[in-house]
Copies of this chain bind each other. A is one copy, B any other.
Amino acid sequence: MSKATINDVARIAGVSIKTVSRVVNRESGVRDATREKVEKAIAELNYWPNQSARDLAASRAHLICLVYDDPSAYQLPSSGYVIRLQEGVLRVCRSHGYELLIHPCNYRDKQVGEELRVLIQRARPAGVVLAAPLSNFPRIVKAIAATGTPFVRLSPGQKLSGQRVVATNDREFAAEMTRYLASLGHKHIAFITGHPKHKAVSHRFDGYRDGLEQSGLPFSEQLVVAGDNSFGSGEAAAMKLLKRKRRPSAIFAANDDMAVAVIRVAGRLGINVPGQLSVAGCDDITLAEQIHPALTTIRQPFSTMAEKATLMLVKGTTESELPEGTTVVPGKLRIRESTGPAP
């Protein structure tokens, strides 16, 4: 285990510790010859700066904090979401010398604001990435904003001015999916809405309407059923839609959990997917590819979004200059087996 300090390097290289510090931090104003001497000494001693010391001296930690809704708190099968977020943040952390501190929390807990305040005060991260649906709660956003630590919100429903946001184009891709279904010849495309608190998901409903209009299809209240993002609500909605005398030939659900539920219900009712019914979802959860028929959906760029957000928080990137505003990362249509020509 290396115990070399900056002093050792300075001694070996025959320069002052400050010069070593400059080289390590890639500051300008060091003569090439000097830089080389120092780099040689660093390599020789296998020196690596002590993070605690630099953080103390610079009064900032080389840490990015990712805050998300704890999936284990509700047995959600959405761990894929968390993993993808972590991936994105990690990519940037790795390349910029930051570490990732993860903090799942439960938004139902009244203490969560306080909890985050304490977290930030303790860890003093360089920035916080706040994932949806947490990014929708004013209580939580305010708590973080109050600490003065830079933060970026992921897919919040409403954009507050003066804050940085990375979002996806929910409305546009929902329209795209709707147009795709229409292009298959479907005339009766039903929609299962998401949880009203989850704003990004509700934008998809607007997109659905856009898509209908763009395809010259009429909108009908009859074809819309409310869901709340859960598998159970998807089942209930599917029952409602599929037991009708004149059932829709396609069902577009605001998220994959509900879409999977629709496929399950269709199976129980003996309705063939995609032969008699096309089903589409949103998110591209892991399960989407594993079920049969594999679900047509929209891959959310979670990992890329997290990456962009982290770049905004990391020192020395062009992204970190952005004072505020929204960056949009587009979702991607994934056509699989659950959709087909209208019967």
Contacts and interface: CB of A to CB of B under 8 A. Distances in A.
A343 interface: no
A90 interface: yes
B71 A61 contact: no
Interface string A120-141: 0111100000000000000000
A33 interface: no
A86 interface: yes
A39 B208 CA distance: 57
A139 to B, nearest CB: 18
Contacts of A56: 50, 52-53, 56
Given A80-B79, A82-B83, A121-B48, A1 B101 contact: no
A14 interface: no
A183 interface: no
Contacts of A50: 56, 124
A148 interface: yes
A158 interface: no
Contacts of A79: 79-80, 82-83, 286
A52 B61 contact: yes
A308 B71 CA distance: 21
A2 interface: yes
A292 interface: yes
A48 B121 CA distance: 7
Interface string A67-87: 000011000010110111011
Interface residues of A, number: 43
A51 interface: yes
Interface in A133-153: 146-149
A290 interface: yes
A49 B122 CA distance: 7
A123 B1 contact: no
A185 interface: no
Nearest to A54: B52
Interface in A95-138: 97, 99-102, 104, 118, 121-124
A287 interface: yes
Contact of A287 (B55, B61, B102, B287): B287
A188 interface: no
Contacts of A84: 72
A3 B146 CA distance: 13
A186 interface: no
A1 B146 contact: yes
Given A1-B148, A53-B56, A77 B123 contact: no
B90 A1 contact: no
A198 interface: no
A101 B104 contact: no
Contacts of A292: 264
Interface string A147-166: 11100000000000000000
A7 to B, nearest CB: 15
Given A79-B286, A86-B104, 15 more contacts: A1-B146, A48-B118, A51-B124, A52-B55, A52-B56, A52-B61, A72-B84, A79-B80, A79-B83, A87-B104, A90-B104, A99-B101, A99-B123, A100-B101, A287-B287
List the 3 closest pairs (A to B, CB-CB), nearest first.
A52-B55, A52-B56, A79-B83
